[in-house]
Amino acid sequence: MARITTTKLKKMKESGEKITMLTCYDYSTAVLLDEAGVDVLLVGDSLGMVILGYDSTLPVTMAEMLHHTRAVARGAKQAMVVGDMPFMSYQVSCEEAVRNAGRFLQEAGAQAVKLEGGREVVPQIRAIVQAGIPVMGHLGLTPQHVHRLGGYSVQGKEDAARQQLLEDARLLVEVGVFAIVLECVPVDVARMVTEAVDVPTIGIGAGPYCDGQVLVTQDMLGLYRDLTPRFVRRYASLQQPVKEAVQAYIQEVKAGSFPGPAESFGWPEKEPLKVY
């Protein structure tokens, strides 16, 4: 199967085929998600919270994002890999935005980048796209702006905010984004935007009318417990099985039943050890 491209995603919107996207931060998980058939793997700056233990996405650096994107890119053979541009990697200037976006493709092996914001980042998006780098937009609740927004809450509830969100979506399309993430916006707003633009919308807490959906993998697998958004559906609860497996390992090591007697390894003690 060929790798998912921006052209493929647009055709999926046109045909009504839903797009699947999950976050991913490491090689082994990328292999599993890719083999399962996920269309897009987002190396999200959410890694700051679910992987690195920060209180928000704001401390995440370019070095951290590139490190994790490289790992995911090595594991994904079919899914599109999108690198999330971290806080202050694109806001300062168009030149810096292009340079950092280019690093995701050149150094980390991603096929596209994502960045947050509407009209205020239009110049940066235009410059990145003109440099030949595919850009995914992100509107609604934008976690990098959590302090300005006053917390993690639904966006676009008032008429003026709804209209601005729609206008921002159209502006992003005009400057060349290939898709737009809509996070925590009312269902009718997500539907309005999805119908108004000719690029795919990917919802997270935005209802069923978007062209696709994205979740944080650790959320949908029940592995991250510090914060559980209302819109998350857990497809597995892996915390307890993982904990039980570790406890069984600890018990066997303490009891001396793991790794087992020397003769079970199949080589004499005096011969050179060849593991592989």
Residue 55 in marked binding region = no
Residue 168 in marked binding region = no
CA–CA distance from 115 to each of 6, 36, 139, 215 (Å)?
A: 16, 26, 9, 17
Q: Which amino acid is at 40?
A: V
Residue 46 in marked binding region = yes
Q: What share of the chain is helix, strand, coil (3-state, %, to 5)?
A: 45, 15, 45
Q: Is 17 a catalytic residue?
A: no
Q: Which amino acid is at 208?
A: P
Residue 243 in marked binding region = no
Q: Which two tokens stand for residue 131?
A: 């440099």
Token look-up 């690195």 returns: 52
Measured over the CA atoms of residue 191, residue 197, residue 203 and residue 209, the dihedral's sign is positive
Q: Which two tokens stand for residue 198?
A: 């000719």
Question: What is the chain's alpha carbon radius of gyration, rounded to the nearest angstrom?
Answer: 21
Q: Determine contact, residues 138/124, Cβ cutoff 8 Å.
A: no
Q: Which amino acid is at 175?
A: V
Catalytic residue among 17, 96, 183, 271: 183
Residue 45 in marked binding region = yes
Residue ranges for the known binding site for Mg(2+) are 45, 84, 116
Annotated binding site for 3-methyl-2-oxobutanoate: 45-46, 84, 114
- Which of the residues are catalytic? 183
